[in-house]
Structure 1
Amino acid sequence: MITLRDIKLRFGARPIFGGMTSTITARDRIGLVGSNGQGKSTLIRVLMGEQELDGGAVEKASYVTLGHLPQDGLAVKGRSLRDEAMTAFENVLDIQRKVDAASARLQELDPANNEYAETLEVIGALEHHLQDAEAHKLPSRVERVLLGLGFEMADLDRDCGEFSGGWQMRIAMAKLLLREPSLLLLDEPTNHLDLDSLTWIEQYLKSYEGALMIVSHDRAFLDSLTTRTWALSQGRLENYNGNYSFFEKESVLRRDALKRSAENQQKQIAETERFIERFRAKNTKAAQVQSRIKALEKIERIEIEDEEATVAFSLPPAPHCGQVVLELQGVEKRYGDLEIYRNLDLKLERGDRIAIVGRNGAGKSTLARILAGVEPIQAGVREVGYQVQVAYFAQHQAEELDPTSDALSIAEAAAPQGQGRRARTLLGAFLFTGDDVFKKVKVLSGGEKNRLALAKMLLQPFNCLILDEPTNHLDMRSKEVLQQALREFDGTLIIVSHDRSFLDPLAEKTLEISRDGARMFAGNISYYLEKIAAEREAEQAAAAQNKYAAGAKSSSQGQPSNSPTSEPSNLSPKERRQLVAERNRQLAPLKKKCDKLEADIATMEAEYGELETAMMDPAFFKQGAETKEKMDRYESLKRNIERAYADWESAQEQIAGLEG
């Protein structure tokens, strides 16, 4: 479908592509990866025909169409959301306009006129094209995609200019998906999506008929969708027949094999050079020497790229604080007439590690700001615990940086006295290396400013850390470094993010924010998504059962029934037995699960009670390592009991639905 043939490109003295060759076929799912600055966005511009090459060519079939979603910079206004999305079908709309114009002309013509018959034929041909394009289905397709991306029915008639930047990107994505180009090029498509929309678009793209090329730092998204990986590094393109996780493992194996080949080649070269030096002066060996010299000149030396340095850093120990870190009581928050929270209660305890999730616009960032104390509330109380020190990273914190200062000065000023070296280490972890640390803020890119703001915040002492979308401008390596530091952090952690692979190892609880309020789940993001999926399945099953019961009731109206059960009276004995058997088949594992959970809860609560009793004795806290071990066990039991109760309640709800 598309062939990259020996493409070459330089920016000044710097080589970007050094003769890359590869192909893209009709159903490829390609993840385009590489460190920042390796040319991912440039390669997309090359494919789109927006970047001239110094050599080589991009060859594609005439029928191939390309669609590109950039990271930002798109905005539309002047049309309703529905009408803007419909512009994705401009060719079909153009046919409809021609039909409308021809129909209007028909009204003016005399039926006896030859032009009348000709116009009728034109309308018939055009309507045939509309039928082929299934024009009658386009409005429902538009609604499906817009609702899947998080818009609501009430939004469809709003002017596009009323939507913020993140929603503008969703409008662009909707139009792109509706156009269905042969190759869909997505540059960081997950940055502006919440978990619901992310789940929807994953499922949508899995069944996409064309080819995909995705640039993303969300490894869970890449692993779910891609089956090939193009890795860009120092002007070269390496092809891997697998997703990102496959690439990670395979790239290590390839590098090891290349090292061995390079070592063997060096041995052969050294032997050849020794032979040449030894026999250069002997006339009897002149021909052999010349032959070896020519062979040596023809050898293509194996070059090993310098491994990217992995900069590790750790957060300082969290200063001691009270058991309750932050508490909200009866909080109300409004923006004008828009109510965000009413009577919100929330208690965060020392050591909590909470992920905040929910649809965009539900109030996740607002809650983070309220917890951080930077957002006023209309009613209720926000209480900060004993000796709690809160550090807060906002999505737009980079805007507060002094544009005249350089990165190193800002980091060193934020670091505690005598920790200048740690400031430089942290900058390195966030890709500020060499002379980059002396760059003025005013010349930094948006991503660089964001990383600098994050580094500055992490240098300050705290025992409660609140992060709002901290990974949006971090590459894979920086995210891993940050994730590892946060895993070792012994304070309280609250994160707003949609990045599942980043959150899963960090979160032990998940707080869902919705219009109905806030719900806490005793598990990480994977656990939360499983619970939500189970809830939706139960809702669908209940809806199907209600629909079935309503249909059965309607069909049996007016007919007497002596049956004491809720089953429809017009079922045959065999059908009734089958219905009961199917219900019992579904109930059995749920009841078994409840029995096991009840036994587990009883066992854990007994141990939990014993530890609580032991902790009443002052001698308990003088046992050194044994005290710490028992305290860790106490906290672990507490979390496991909460999780078991949540699982038990969910199973009971499903049982009630089936027995209802």
Structure 2
Amino acid sequence: MISVDGIAVEFSGETLFSNVSFVINENDKIALMGKNGAGKSTMMKIIAGVQKASRGNVRCPKEAVIAYLPQHLLTDDDCTVFEEASKAFGQIHEMQQEMDRLNKELETRTDYDSDEYMGIIQKVTDLGEKFYAIEEVNYDAEVEKALQGLGFRREDFTRPTSEFSGGWRMRIELAKILLQKPDLILLDEPTNHVDIESVIWLEDFLLNKAKAVIVISHDKAFIDNITNRTIEVTMGRIYDYKANYTHYLQLREERRSHQLKAYQEQQKFIADTKQFIERFKGTYSKTNQVNSRERMLEKLDIIEIDEVDTSSLKLRFPPSARSGDYPVIAKDLSKKYDEHVVFKEANMSIGRGEKVSFVGRNGEGKSTMIKAIMGEIDFEGQCDLGHNAKVGYFAQNQAALLDPNLTVFQTVDEVAKGDVRTQIKNILGQFMFSGDHIDKKVGVLSGGERTRLAMVKLLLEPVNVLILDEPTNHLDIRSKDVLKEALLNFDGTLILVSHDRDFLRGLSNKVFEFKNKRVIEHFETIDAFLERNRMESLKEMDLKA
């Protein structure tokens, strides 16, 4: 059991939260929720021991292992993927090496009766007790299983970590954490850089093999599936619910309704009391009553209503000219890099107004297909944009392509044309950039802020074909909901690559699956696709058992 006791965080004269206490039990699966800036990541860092609280402390058993995966982290570049993941067992290997070293020293020494000799024997005994108490494990097999579960292929194991993107390095670090089998796993946005299959694997691991888990995530389906408890950080305090995210939302709404009712009743009481005081102040016969009520008001604890995050994106895609019947057509399309075939003889016809999803493991060719559609790479076969197709393209690294030296306003002003330039401040306000925020340099913006700013740039010109490659990374739940609503109302053609199942649900009516160098068309929703594939995976597991 790990306990958070009276934690407070204050900086620059402001209180982030104060006197926060709760207990983390052995098998708790906790979602840490709250609006952006409420202090969720700070709370997680304090529990992980990487940041100190202004007051209070975290108590845990001496032997407890706490593993922490932050939002942004890079592994070293001096080893292969397999070697980096194997560092999870570094402490065990060091223990074995130390035992071997001490045993060799005992073999060469002859001072059998000396204190030093007896001291070495005691060290070997203590280390041996710890080492042999550890369950015997095939460490290489465990590393292989974890890496494959998180989307790595066997041929990736010997590649240097320097060849992988930040997202893939994050997976290596996640593999190391899972392999340590810690008493508490702390995960800050773990699904931002993993595909749907890897998220499903991670869910299974956290539910069936992990002990206690605390997770911050904007993936509603993920946190609903793995958590049984929700801790909300709001207005400097916490509310603790024994419920998953969806149930927590209902309970929170009930709580706010009770708060509002109590607040209104208290405000009426205060108004009535003040009216009485004003009416009878100076009346000798009412002096004691007036004084009593004045003291009562002074001692009264004013009921506060918890804040609600009402800031949100208000996306409105501008109307555009009508495209031809088939804005995107691919025939016998193949792509390979040297001897590596990404996909071959792919055929695809996407009709005007269709909303389709590209799904599949990372590396199977989803982003490569988008680059072929955009004409950014060479390929074999045919890939054409249809008549009058005007494409808006949001790449995975779109936010990273922004100039860090420009301000928010300058970034938009650069691409704005005509009358829209007079509306820049209003447009930015719709994307939660207002007041001094528009004068911030891009370089100091968070990942979510950069993503929103990149989306503003995309929306400045009317398009009838939208291609979005992981648009929801770094967007909070409310922002994703509003973006999804806008996409549902978009009357053009949508091609969407996303690992976020909740975001995809109800948004596409056709799925293109990228698998085993093929592109397979499924006339079904993402729900039907996932349900069918889960069943197939279970059958395959039964066959292997």
Give TM-score scaled by structure 1 length.
0.76
Map of 1:58-77 to 2, 5 A cutoff?
58-77=58-77
Identity percentage of aligned residues: 38
Residue 445 of structure 2 is matched in structure 1 by 444
Q: Distance in 1 between matches of 2:86 and 2:191?
A: 23
Higher helix proportion: 1
Structure label with greater radius of gyration:
1
Change (3 A) 1:117 1:444: closer
Q: Distance in 2 between matches of 1:4 and 1:27?
A: 16
Which of 341, 345, 367 is the equivalent residue of 2:369? 367
Compute the displacement of 1:424 (Å): 4.4
Q: How far 1:421 moved relative to its partner?
A: 7.3
The C-alpha deviation readout for 1:39-73, integer Å capped at 9, x for no partner, is 11111122123323333333333343311001122
Deviation at 1:109, TM superposition (A): 9.2
Q: Which protein has greater RCO, CA pairs closer than 8 Å, 6+ apart? A: 2
1:427 Cα deviation after fit: 3.1
Does the 8 Å CA contact 1:33/1:229 hold for their aligned counterparts?
yes
Are 2:463 and 1:455 aligned?
no
Deviations 1:460-512 (A, max 9, x none): 21111000110001111111110100011111101111000011121111111
Structure 1: state its 5+ residue gaps. 545-660
Paired residues of 2:311 and 2:432 also in contact (CA < 8 A): no
- 2:524 is aligned to 523
Q: Partners in 2 of 1:245 and 1:315 — Cα distance? A: 29
Residues 1:234 and 2:243 aligned together: no
The separation in 1 between residues aligned to 2:283 and 2:80, in whole angstroms, is 88
Question: Given that residues 206 and 225 in structure 1 are in contact (C-alpha distance below 8 angstroms), is that contact kept between their aligned partners in structure 2?
Answer: yes
Query: Across the two proteins, how many residue pairs are aligned to each other?
Result: 542
Over 3 Å counting, the alpha-carbon distance change for 1:90 and 1:541 in structure 2 is closer
Q: What is the CA deviation profile of residues 58-113 of structure 1, one whole-angstrom value per residue up to 9, with x for unaligned ones?
A: 33333433110011222123334333323222332123224544676688799x99
The structure-2 alpha-carbon separation of the partners of 1:127 and 1:144, relative to structure 1 and needing over 3 Å to count, comes to farther
Contact 1:15 1:234 survives alignment (8 Å): no
Task: Report matched runs for 1:160-179 at 5 Å.
Answer: 160-179=161-180
Return closer, same or farther for 1:202/1:162 CA change in 2, 3 Å cut-off.
same
Code of the residue aligned with 2:3 in structure 1: it is T
Amino acid at match of 2:7: I
* Amino acid paired to 1:93: H
Matches within 5 A, 1:198-597: 198-305=199-306, 307=308, 308-373=310-375, 375-411=376-412, 414-415=415-416, 417-419=418-420, 423-424=424-425, 426-539=427-540
Q: Is the 8 A contact 2:344 2:517 kept in 1?
A: no
- Please state whether the residue corresponding to 1:418 is helix, strand or coil: helix
Partners of 1:157 and 1:149 lie apart in 2 by 16
CA–CA distance in 2 between the matches of 1:477 and 1:72?
22
Does the aligned pair in 2 maintain the 1:76–1:168 contact within 8 Å? no
Other-structure match for 1:16: 16
Q: Distance in 2 between matches of 1:402 and 1:160?
A: 27
139 and 125 in structure 1: CA distance in 2 versus 1, 3 angstrom threshold = farther
Q: Secondary structure of the equivalent of 1:135?
A: coil
What's the CA shift string for 1:404-451, capped at 9, x where partnerless? 443234335545643457654553443323321232323323432222
Matched with 1:551 is none
Using structure 2 for the length normalisation, give the TM-score. 0.91
Q: 1:344 corresponds to which letter in structure 2? A: A
Query: Which amino acid is the alignment partner of residue 219 of structure 2?
Result: D
1:277 counterpart letter in structure 2: E
1:152 partnered with 2:153: yes
Read off the aligned partner of 1:173 and give its amino acid letter. L
Question: Structure 1 residues 221 and 434 mapped into 2: Cα distance closer, same or farther (>3 Å)?
Answer: same
Match for 2:68: what amino acid?
H
Post-superposition CA distance 1:194-252 (Å, at most 9, x none): 11111101000002342111011101101001111122223222222211111222222
Cα pair 1:32 1:230 within 8 Å, conserved: yes
Rate the CA distance shift 1:321–1:305 in 2: closer, same or farther, 3 A: same
Q: Aligned partners of 1:446 and 1:279: how far apart in 2?
A: 59
Residue 50 of structure 1: aligned partner:
50
- Give 1:274 deviation, angstroms: 1.9
Once superposed, which parts of structure 1, at least 4 consecutive aligned residues long, lie more than 6 Å away?
A: 105-110, 112-128, 541-544
Moved more, 216-225 or 129-138: 129-138
Q: What residue is the counterpart of 1:565 in the other structure?
A: none
Tell me if structure 2 keeps the 8 A contact 1:25–1:211.
yes
Distance 1:23 1:542, change over 3 A: closer
One-letter amino acid of the counterpart of residue 184, structure 2: L
Please give the alpha-carbon distance, in whole angstroms, between the structure 2 residues aligned to 1:406 and 1:479.
Answer: 24
Alpha-carbon distance between aligned partners in 1 of 2:106 and 2:328, rounded to the nearest angstrom: 73
The answer as to whether partners of 1:464 and 1:491 remain within 8 angstroms in 2 is yes
Unmatched segments (≥5 aa) in structure 2: none
Structure 2 CA distance for partners of 1:493 and 1:231, relative to 1, 3 Å:
same
Report the CA distance shift for 1:250/1:70 in structure 2 as closer, same or farther (over 3 A): same
User: d(CA) in 1 for partners of 2:149 and 2:23?
Assistant: 32
- Note if contact 2:5-2:20 (Cα within 8 Å) is conserved in structure 1: yes
**Structure 2 counterpart of 1:65, which letter?**
V
- What amino acid sits opposite 1:510 in the alignment? V
Deviation at 1:311, TM superposition (A): 4.6
Relative to 1, partners in 2 of residues 1:63 and 1:122: Cα closer, same or farther, differing over 3 Å?
A: closer
Q: Distance in 1 between matches of 2:103 and 2:56?
A: 51
Shift of 1:31: 0.7
The one-letter code of the counterpart of 1:350 is R
* Counterpart contact for 1:318–1:489, Cα < 8 Å: no
Rounded Cα–Cα distance in structure 1 between residues aligned with 2:312 and 2:400: 28
| Distance in 2 of aligned mates of 1:276 and 1:26 | 55
What is the identity, as a one-letter code, of the residue corresponding to 1:358? G
Instruction: Report the CA distance between 1:377 and its aligned residue.
Output: 1.5
Classify the secondary structure of the residue corresponding to 1:289.
helix
Task: Describe the SS at the equivalent of 1:62.
Answer: coil
CA distance in 2, matches of 1:87, 1:428: 47
Q: Kindly indicate whether the alpha-carbon contact (under 8 Å) linking 1:331 and 1:377 is maintained by their aligned counterparts in 2.
A: no
Q: Deviations over 1:348-391 (max 9, x none)?
A: 11122111111111121111222223x22232222111111111
Change (3 A) 1:425 1:65: farther
- Name the stretch that deviates more: 392-401 or 441-450: 441-450
CA positional deviation for 1:326: 1.0
Q: Cα distance 1:325–1:291, how it changes in 2: closer, same or farther (>3 A)? A: same
Amino acid of the structure 2 residue aligned with 1:25: N
1:393 deviates by: 0.4
CA distance, structure 2, for counterparts of residue 120 and residue 400 of structure 1 = 60
Secondary structure class of the residue paired with 2:304: coil
Give the letter aligned to residue 433 of structure 1: S
Deviation for aligned residue 1:9: 1.8
Pairwise mapping of residues 580-619 of structure 1 onto structure 2 (< 5 A)? none
Aligned to 2:32: 32
